[in-house]
A and B are shown apart, each in its own frame.
Chain A
């Protein structure tokens, strides 16, 4: 291994450690989280000034002395990982809850908003976007059906099948399909994002 490579390796160890600490501090208020991260970072830099920058073994020992990110997070008052135990259910309840039973969706919301796994932004998006998506999906499907049947048009048999009424909205087929696609995306993508965030966090806690 060349000198540059081992310096890169040592830097990577430090970066990875700080990323783990950042993840462990999830749930601690943002300004305090930044403070602690910055000071632990300074601590590591200070300790490294005396070292050969490419000495990965010493960097490992140093990080070992700084300690388990979970212990630092616990000292900072981060909620224990136990409050994450229902996390896996939240995305599925958000996807199927509104269709299957409203109670399922409410349970999904409870898990989503009490778990420290997700950021406020993720929580807000996963609360509102899937519902809006579902509404768009519903109107989109109706509009597709109506557009396909030529509503409002001149073929009475088709009108009845598509539920055409004399009044009612009509959208061009393309717009209706777009509405379906956007609705489906808004319904599914936020819960999928929740799953991804959860997986990332689990890999840092493992």
Chain B
């Protein structure tokens, strides 16, 4: 299958993104509830954390099913009512534990990469 091709340099990035995109959604919600379009914009604009805007929704469906986010409807001034997503306390805990593990992981990778670099 094409996404499993070895040596494909986009491949590892895709795998990492897949793993961290959910956590980034949780992180974006710590500053307050957001609706889908807002989240999609931030995630595609900043380093293309998600591939396309539409892929956000399966991801949100997973988070909701795991009880990490919840939704509520709110009126909008400019159009149809919006579905807002907010963090649950389980979501906050999951994010806190991810953040801790991510920093340890990132530091370890950096350290190894630095040892391997010629300078």
Binding site for B on A (CB under 8 A): 21, 32, 35-36, 39-40, 42-43, 45-47, 49-50, 65-69, 71-72, 75-77, 80, 82
Contact = CB atoms under 8 A, between A and B. Distances in A.
Interface of B: 1, 35-37, 40, 44, 51-55, 57-61, 65, 76, 78-80, 82-83
A75 B59 contact: yes
Contacts of A68: 52
Contacts, number: 71
Nearest to A69: B54
A72 B37 contact: no
B80 A72 contact: no
A40 B35 contact: no
Nearest to A80: B1
A72 B58 CA distance: 7
B54 A72 contact: yes
A46 B54 contact: no
A91 to B, nearest CB: 26
B55 A72 contact: yes
Contacts of B51: 67, 71, 75
B37 A47 contact: yes
Contact of A40 (B54, B59, B82): B54
A42 B40 CA distance: 13
Q: Interface SS of chain A: helix, strand, loop or mixed?
A: helix
Contacts of A40: 54, 57
B36 A42 contact: yes
B53 A67 contact: yes
B55 A67 contact: yes
Contact of B78 (A49, A71, A82): A49
Contacts of A47: 37
B57 A36 contact: yes
20 contacts: A21-B54, A35-B57, A36-B58, A39-B57, A40-B57, A43-B36, A43-B53, A43-B57, A67-B51, A67-B52, A67-B55, A69-B54, A71-B51, A71-B52, A72-B54, A72-B55, A75-B58, A75-B59, A80-B1, A82-B1
A6 to B, nearest CB: 20
B61 A36 contact: yes
Contacts of B57: 35-36, 39-40, 43, 72
A40 B57 CA distance: 7
Given A67-B52, A68-B52, A45 B79 contact: yes
B45 to A, nearest CB: 11
B83 A75 contact: no
A69 B55 CA distance: 9
A65 B44 contact: yes
B79 A46 contact: yes
Given A49-B78, A82-B1, A39 B60 contact: yes
A43 B44 CA distance: 14
A178 to B, nearest CB: 50
